[in-house]
A and B are shown apart, each in its own frame.
Chain A
Amino acid sequence: MVQTPEDTRKPLDWEKLEIGETFPSYSYVLTQEMLDEYRLGVMDPEAAFPTISHKVDVGGYNRTYKDAGSVNARCAFHCYNPPVPGKRITVQAWIADKYVPRGKTYICTEAVSVDEDGRLLDRVITHELKQPWEVGKKWG
């Protein structure tokens, strides 16, 4: 029998989720292959911030909590310095906000990425609707 790693994530309790909760920092090496694949995907040979596809702001949340999924309702991205392939990138992410318009719960996560030379690369802020089935109900 194949054993799968135990899922140690906590079920999301939206009421108890604290604004300001900071997740353990996370790091990865950005490779030239990642940049090339990203540029093909976005059909832009000069796209400079492949860090967007890494979804690092919600990564910390998703490694900590399990829930029914989410939909990206709003996302902001601040460009400071394009990341350089081969460099290790360290990400710090946290819960920036949560709110309930019209009875639907949203979580806002934020993250900054810094490379191994200490260069600030980017900042990303995402508002996720935690009732993803609302998309199908509304748009099919």
Chain B
Amino acid sequence: MGIVRTYTAGDELPPLVKHMTQEAINLFEGSAGHRGPSQFTDEATARATLGTRGTVASGRMSLTFSLELLRRYFGADIFNRGGMADLRNLRPVRPGDTITLSGKVTGIAKEANGSRVSVEITVVNQKGETTGVGTGNCLVPAGFLPPEE
């Protein structure tokens, strides 16, 4: 049995900071074999497709960071087998940006085999602009929760 964990609405998750680079974006895209020019890896393609001044990071990178934020909080043993994140991308994240992800527990709902802990997620860049907002949750098995009274 794992360590017993307690969750309370209002609990804040430890923030997660990511420094975005073009190299990181290229690695993310390349890891799936996407090595041709795209709006993520090539400035000319980004200008032509998006009309932006340069490349942007895939929204899936911020989603991945959201999963990391939650995994670190809940633990990989639980989150990787019952967690989720749902992120709305509000502004582009670009190479050179530093983004900070934060989260707060918003609710705990009992289910047949544990409790589903819900979290709100916010992503803010170095200018204080919100680049993404979303939610996540994780089913925490009853065995990881304190025994009921």
Residues on A lying within 8 angstroms of B by beta carbon are: 34-35, 37-38, 40-44, 46-50, 52-55, 68-69, 71-82, 125, 132-133, 135-137, 139-140
Contacts and interface: CB of A to CB of B under 8 A. Distances in A.
A55 B32 contact: yes
Given A37-B31, A75-B60, A77-B67, A139 B92 contact: yes
B103 to A, nearest CB: 15
A80 B30 contact: no
Contact of B28 (A42, A49, A71): A42
A127 B34 CA distance: 20
Given A43-B19, A47-B68, A79-B67, 5 more contacts: A43-B18, A48-B76, A77-B84, A82-B80, A140-B51
Contacts of A78: 83-84
Interface in B43-63: 47, 49-53, 56, 58-61, 63
Contact of B50 (A40, A50, A82, A136): A136
A42 B64 contact: yes
19 contacts: A41-B25, A48-B71, A49-B67, A52-B60, A53-B28, A68-B49, A72-B58, A72-B60, A72-B89, A73-B59, A73-B89, A74-B87, A76-B84, A78-B83, A79-B80, A133-B49, A135-B52, A136-B47, A140-B51
A68 B82 CA distance: 36
Contact of B59 (A49, A72, A82): A72
Contacts of B59: 71-75
Contact of B88 (A73, A137, A140): A73
A79 B83 contact: yes
B68 A41 contact: no
Nearest to A68: B49
Contacts of A55: 32, 34, 58, 60
B75 to A, nearest CB: 11
Contacts of A74: 59, 86-89, 134
B124 interface: no
Contact of B85 (A48, A73, A76, A136): A76
B18 A53 contact: no
B81 A137 contact: no
